[in-house]
Amino acid sequence: MRYVVFDIETSSEFIDGAFDPATLDLALVATYDSQTNQYDSFLQPELPRLWPILEKADAIVGYNSDHFDIPILNRFYPGDLSKIKSIDLLKDVRKSLGRRIKLDSLAQATLGRGKIGDGLQAMKWWKEGQVEKVREYCIEDVRITKEIFEYAKKHQKLKYKDFGSIKEIPIDISAWDMRSGDALTYTLPF
């Protein structure tokens, strides 16, 4: 199965209590492609280079991606990214545990290391013109998400920190490898 792990960073934040991710401005997208074993990143003008990669994937993998990343990317995509099979790890965690867990908590407990920043810090870096710092941060989030995904595939569980102790969450991966038809959405001329 070819999967693409992805994450986005925004250059704006929610205003006046409006929590619609599609209203946020996109800074960049980072990816890992299992077919090429490569990490990459795309600024907004480079997005046309990203679309064929996502369209050829059997699944796109993210963390809170169904609610956050995909709605933002769909503003720029000529088709509908929600037609491509999505594995949203946060959705699976929430289904099993009954609540949301931060990616950093999963990373620390499952992988033994945490994130190198947070979204607000990345937004600050972006506003300061530190594009390479944002790129590095976003790629590292993709690396963490990929490793958590692979751990869950292998062990059918994840770990998280809960008030100082490490607990396990069973993860149902039975639908992850199932193909959901052709991932291609036929929006690009190739």
* The 3-state secondary structure of 88-154, one letter per residue: EHHHHHHHHHCCCCCHHHHHHHHHCCCCCCCHHHHHHHHHCCCHHHHHHHHHHHHHHHHHHHHHHHH
Q: Evaluate if residue 185 carries a pLDDT over 70.
A: no
Six-digit token string for 139: 């790629």
Show me where the domains of the chain are located: 3-170
Q: Name the residue with higher pLDDT: 190 or 136.
A: 136
Q: Could you say which of 3.30.420.10, 3.40.630.30, 3.90.79.10, 2.60.40.2130 is the CATH number of the domain covering 3-170?
A: 3.30.420.10
Quick one: pLDDT at residue 17? 52
Q: How confident is the model at residue 35 (pLDDT cuts 50, 70, 90)?
A: very high
Residue 42's closest CA among 86, 6, 78, 4? 6
* pLDDT per position as a tens digit, 46-104: 999 999 999 999 999 999 999 999 999 999 999 999 999 999 999 999 999 999 999 99
Q: Name the residue with higher pLDDT: 105 or 121.
A: 105
Q: Evaluate if residue 163 carries a pLDDT over 60.
A: yes
